[in-house]
Amino acid sequence: MATFETALRENSISELMLVPKSDIHTHGGKGGRIKYFAEWANTSIKASEQPFEDLNDMQNWFDSNIKVHDNGIGGYLKRVETAFAQAKEDNIVVLALSFSISVIDNLGGIDKFISTLNYYNKTFAPETKYYPELSLSREDDVNGVFDRLNEILSRNWFKSIDICGNELAQPIKNFQKIYRKAQSYGVKLKAHIGEFGTADDVMEAVELLELSEVHHGIAAVKSKEVMRWLSKHKIQLNICPTSNIMLKRATSYYDHPIKELFENGIPVTVNTDDLLIFDSSVSEEYMKLYVNKVLSIEELEVIRQTGLNTYT
């Protein structure tokens, strides 16, 4: 029986893959292993070895290396399959893969979308408990989104809501109305903040939108006051170390802010973000944090448990 401790101590990725884990910051259509998708596309695709300049540069890489192999909706669904197959492969028992409203529409509307996703969950990762996340973009027309919320959330299928994309596109305050409505449906409130923005941006967004979790949030490390506040209010940061390095948000695993955030009492988790770009699984993320002496086995175990208990 593989244990987290022995797998890390023996530097065994294959043993670590057997240990139950969570991935609660991961984007639908960009999850799963490059190798799995490349085999279907009958080609070979190599992950970028160079960091990306920004989110646009990353998207360009994705469009020309992954999306170029899509043949319409079939290619997109293969990417959804890739994400669930990876959850099974890496024993991800708690998964919060996120999807945008445009994907819901492209897959035939909310009811068709839900039955399609349930099929992929059941077929490719039946042991994975899937907690669907609705992903908005910081660039969205907020009134247009607000008008769609009842239709989308009234199925009680989505368990959380998020905002991703360019943090500087519009003030976070513009999303307050949407988040109050989402709150009335009982979904978890999260948002991408403090990846490109500041520590103050993290605190402002948590207060205005009443977030319980922040995707990334690593800029909080720049302010003792914000870290104290996040710790006091038990605001969880869902962190993706390789993503942060590949987007030049952190200089190395060794110097990654996750250590200081954890040591300041903030609940953190370890996640993949866009596995189909960054090519680093949850098991590999844990191993990198361990071999680079960022966190001890005991500390990583606390983080693993935080992830597993996020939805309980």
Binding site for Zn ion (CB under 5 A): 273
Nearest distance from C-beta of residue 135 to Zn ion, angstroms: 9
- The half-sphere exposure of 188 on its side-chain side, counting CA atoms within 13 A, is 22
Buried b (16+ CB within 10 A) or exposed e, 279-311: bbbbbbbbbbbbeeebbeeebbbebbebbbebe
**Beta carbon nearer to Zn ion, 8 or 164:** 164
How many angstroms separate the CA atoms of 271 and 255, rounded? 17
Minimum gap (Å) between residue 76 Cβ and Zn ion = 18
Q: Between 21 and 192, whose beta carbon lies closer to Zn ion?
A: 192
Token representation of residue 305: 């448990």
Residue 273 or 284 having the CB closest to Zn ion: 273
Q: Which is nearer to Zn ion, 273 or 285 (CB)?
A: 273
| Nearer CB in complex with Zn ion: 90/273 | 273
Q: Which is nearer to Zn ion, 7 or 161 (CB)?
A: 161
The span from the CA of 204 to the CA of 214, in Å, is 12
Q: CB of 278: closest distance to Zn ion in angstroms?
A: 10
Query: Which one-letter amino acid corresponds to residue 60?
Result: N
Q: Give me the least distance between CB of 27 and Zn ion, in Å please.
A: 6
CB of 30 to Zn ion, least distance (A): 9
For Zn ion, the nearest residue by Cβ is: 273
Amino acid identity for residue 291 in this structure: V
256, 241 contact by CB (below 8 A): yes
CB 192 within 8 A of CB 25: no
The minimum distance between CB 289 and Zn ion, in angstroms, equals 18
6-9 contacts, C-beta under 8 A, 24 or more apart = 8/286, 8/287, 8/290, 8/297, 8/300, 9/297
